[in-house]
Structure 1
Amino acid sequence: MFRCLTLVATCIGLQLVDPTAFDISDSLPLGLHQATTIRLIKWGLAAWTTVEANAVLNSWAENRWSWKNDKSDWNWPGEVAVVTGGSAGIGACVVKKLVSHGTKVAVLDIGPLSSHFTDAERPLIRYYRCDVTSRDDIHRAAEAVRSDMGPPSILINNAGIGNAYTILDIPTEALRTLFEINLISHWSTIHEFLPDMIAKKKGHIMSVASLASFVALAGAVDYSATKAALLALHEGLTQELKHRYKCPQIKTTIVHPGWTKSAITAHEAIKVGLKQAGVSLLEPEDVADAMIKQIIAAKSGQIVLGPAILPKIRAFPMWLQEIVRDSQANVVSGNGSTATK
C-alpha cells in the first residue's frame, strides 16, 4: 500500500517517507504528515476525476447525447462550404484551410478576394459579391452558389464589424448596420442553406462570436449585444434541430475568439485602448485553425479562444463580475466603425 501511495505522490511532486525508518517516538508527527499527504492525494484524484468526467459529459451533451462520431459521412473534396466575410482576415484564413482539404468554397463578401490566395487555391474558390445587410443580396448569392456548386453542407457565418461609440453617441445607421451584419445576416444565411442540410440530414453551421458574448464592453455595447445574441441563436438553433426538425445529425458550433488581429483591432479607436491595456492579440490563422479542426472532427460545441474562465463569469458573484467588467472599461474608446461600403 505504501509503495502505491509513494508512486502516486511522486507523480504529483510529493514525497512520502517509509514509516519503518523511524522509531516509535517519531510515529506521531510522521503519522500526521503521512495522513495529510494521503488526504491531499485523495482530494487531488477526486478533483481530477471530476474535471475529466465533466469534460466527457459536456462533449456528450454538445453532440446531441450521442457517443457516435459520423466523420465517415464527410468527404471533404466533395463538400461545398459557404464563408461570409471570406475575402480577408479570419475568413480568408478559414477559406485557405478548407481548400487545403480539397473542399470547394463559396465566399460571400462585399470586398473582392485578397491577394492572400494563391493561383493553386483559386480554382476551388468562387467569389460572390454580397452585401450581407441585404436579404435580397444573400438570396441571389445563395441561388448562384446552388446553381454553380451545388447545395452547401457547411455554413460559416464569419462576417462581422465593430463600432466604437457610447450608447448615446452612436449614429442610428451605424447601430443598424452592425446588427444587420453581426446578427441578422446569420438568420438570412441559415434560411437559405439549412433546408438542404435538413433534407440530407447532414451539415455544419458555425458562427463566429467573441469573448464579448460573456462580458459587455463599455464603448462597444452594440457589438457585445450582437455577440451575446449569437450565443442565444446557437443554443436555440441546436434545440430546434433536435426537437423541431428532428435532425440532430446537423452540427452547430459557436466560436468565441479573444482580441484578434483584424480590421476591428486595427481601428485607431480600439488599437490605442488595447495597447494601453497590454492586450496580446491572437493571430487570425490560429483562430481559423481551431475552427477547421472542429469541422474536420465533425463535432458540435463551443470553442473559447482565450481565458477558459470567461464563459463562467455569469456564475460569479455580482461584485466579482463587475470587477471584471470594470477592468475592460477603457479598452474601446473614441468614435468610429469598421463597416465597409
Structure 2
Amino acid sequence: MPTSISREGLTIDDVGRLIRRTVLNPYLTLPLAAAIVYFEKHPDHYRDFHLQELHELLGIDLSLLSRIGTYLTGFGIAGATLAANDQLTHLFANNFTSPAHGEWTDWSKEIVLVTGGSSGIGQNVIQGLLERNPRTTVVIVDYAPLSWTVPENAQKSIHYYQADLTKSDVIRSVAARVKKEVGHPTVLINNAGIARGFTIMEGSYGDVESTLRTNLTAPFLLTKEFLPEMVRRNHGHIVNICSMSAFLPPPYIGDYAASKAGVQMLHESLQLELKHAHKAKRVRLTLAIPSFIQTPLIGASHPRQNNFIFPLLHVRTVSEEIVDSLYSGYGRTIYLPGIMRYLTSLRGAPEWVLRMARESTVKIPVDFKGRQVVDVETGGIKLEDHEA
C-alpha cells in the first residue's frame, strides 16, 4: 500500500488511507481506549504514572479524557469492522485457500499472456512484470505492433502475436500457436479493449460488433482456451479489465459499457464455476474496475472532473495494482479510485438517485472515438503494419 501522495496528486484515496492507518486503526485506537478505561477504574495507578500532573500542565479536563476514550472505542470498533470486512472479502475471493508451498514465488516459470499489450495498461503491466523478473515469459496478442522498446535483458522473454481479436477463428489459431510454441499460459490478462464513440443509433454494425467481440467475446474465448490447463494444475490467474462505465454508463459508448458489464458477469460466474464445477479453488481471479485512465482509449481528452474525488488515473497506477495482485498470489477486485467501490452500490439505490448519477456523466467531455480502422460491415479490425 503506498505511503505517499498519489502520482495523480492529493486524492480522496490518500485521505482515506491516512484515516484507516490512524483514526480507524483498531490496533492503535482500541489500546488507547483500553488504557483510558483502565486508569479511570484504577485512579491510584493514574497518580502513580504522574498523569494527573500532566493533565494539569496541559489543561486537560478529566471528563474530556473520558469522552476521548468513548470516541476512541467507537473508532476502534468501526476500524475493526472494516478490517473484518476486508478479511472476509479476501477469503471469499480466494475460496478460503492460500497458495501452495512455493506457488507464485518463481516468476521465471510463469507464462503471462496479455491482450492489448502494445500500449496502455497492457504495456505497463508487462513492463512492471519484467522490472521484477526479466525472465518472466510474456506473450503479447494485439492488432497493433509494440509502441515500446523491449529491454535488452528481456528480449528472449517476449513473444508477440499480431491478431484481430474480433475473429473467433483467429483466436483459436493464435491460442493453438501459443500452446505449441511457448506453452500453456499460467496468467491470462484480458486487457484489450476498444471504444468507438458513437450513439447507439449512429454507430454502424461494424462499430458495435468490433466493440463487443474485442471487449467481451474475446475474453470469453481466450478463457475457454487457456482455463483447462489452469484447472488441471489448480494453478493460474485470470485478470479481467472492467470499467466504471459498467455501473454508470455514459452516452456515446453504450456498446462499450455493455461489454464491460458483461466482463464483470464473466468474472463472477467463473468464480463460482471454478469452486463448484471444476474444484480448482486455487485458480485466482482479479477484476479491475478503474475510472478514466490516461491511455490511447480516450485519446488526448482530459475529462474535466474533480481530481480529488475522481482523478484522471495514471496508467502506471493501474498497472502497479494489477502486478501487485499477481505477485501476491491472491485474486481480488481492484477499485480505482477507491471511491468506485461505493459507486458500484448505486445500482441498488432508488432509480431517481441512479439516474442523477448517470446524468452527471453527460458533462464529462471525453473523445471516445477509437483509433482502430474498423470494417463497418464485418466489424473486423485492420491490422497495423510493423515499422521497418
State the TM-score bracket (shorter-chain normalisation).
0.7 to 0.9
Aligned AA for 2:83?
A: E
What is the aligned partner in structure 2 of residue 259 from structure 1? 292
| Mapped contact 2:243–2:289 kept (Cα < 8 A) | yes
What is the aligned partner in structure 2 of residue 187 from structure 1? 220
Task: Compare 275-284 and 115-124 and name the one that shifted more.
Answer: 275-284
Aligned residues: 321
* Cα displacement (A) at 1:324: 2.1
What is the aligned partner in structure 2 of residue 210 from structure 1? 243
Alpha-carbon distance in structure 2 between the residues aligned to 1:317 and 1:324: 11
What is the aligned partner in structure 1 of residue 178 from structure 2? 145
| Mapped contact 1:71–1:298 kept (Cα < 8 A) | no
Aligned AA for 2:324?
A: K
Q: Please give the per-residue CA displacement for 1:301-331, whole angstroms capped at 9, x wherever unaligned.
A: 1111114222333244444333322221232
Indicate how the Cα distance of structure 1 residues 186 and 18 shifts in structure 2: closer, same or farther if over 3 A, else same.
Answer: same
Aligned partner (choices 147, 152, 155) of residue 114 of structure 1: 147
Q: Please give the per-residue CA displacement for 1:241-300, whole angstroms capped at 9, x wherever unaligned.
A: 111111111111111122111111215xxx16x147766422222211111110111111
Aligned partner (choices 244, 253, 261) of residue 277 of structure 2: 244
What is the aligned partner in structure 1 of residue 80 from structure 2? 49
Q: Is the aligned partner of 1:283 residue 2:314?
A: yes
Over the aligned positions, Cα root-mean-square deviation in angstroms equals: 2.8
Alpha-carbon distance in structure 1 between the residues aligned to 2:81 and 2:173: 50
Indicate how the Cα distance of structure 1 residues 164 and 40 shifts in structure 2: closer, same or farther if over 3 A, else same.
Answer: same
3-state SS of paired residue (1:329):
helix
What is the aligned partner in structure 2 of residue 13 from structure 1? none
Alpha-carbon distance in structure 2 between the residues aligned to 1:71 and 1:253: 21
Q: Is the aligned partner of 1:303 residue 2:334?
A: yes
Identity over aligned residues, as a percent?
Answer: 27
What is the aligned partner in structure 2 of residue 26 from structure 1? none
Q: Is the aligned partner of 1:90 residue 2:121?
A: yes
Q: Please give the per-residue CA displacement for 1:162-185, whole angstroms capped at 9, x wherever unaligned.
A: 121222222221011100001100
3-state SS of paired residue (1:73):
coil
Q: Please give the per-residue CA displacement for 1:20-71, whole angstroms capped at 9, x wherever unaligned.
A: x89xxxxxx975x5664443233222211111111111111111123x2337
Structure 1: runs of 5+ lacking an equivalent: 9-16, 23-28
What is the aligned partner in structure 2 of residue 69 from structure 1? 99
Alpha-carbon distance in structure 1 between the residues aligned to 2:317 and 2:178: 28
Alpha-carbon distance in structure 1 between the residues aligned to 2:34 and 2:282: 49
Aligned residue runs from structure 1 range 8-87, under 5 A: 36-66=67-97, 68-70=98-100, 72-74=102-104, 75-87=106-118
Q: What is the TM-score normalised by the length of structure 2?
A: 0.75
Alpha-carbon distance in structure 2 between the residues aligned to 1:71 and 1:55: 24
Aligned partner (choices 363, 369, 372) of residue 339 of structure 1: 372
Aligned AA for 2:103?
A: D
Bigger relative contact order, structure 1 or 2, given CA contacts below 8 A and separation 6+?
2
Q: What is the TM-score normalised by the length of structure 1?
A: 0.85
Alpha-carbon distance in structure 2 between the residues aligned to 1:99 and 1:106: 12
Alpha-carbon distance in structure 1 between the residues aligned to 2:38 and 2:118: 55
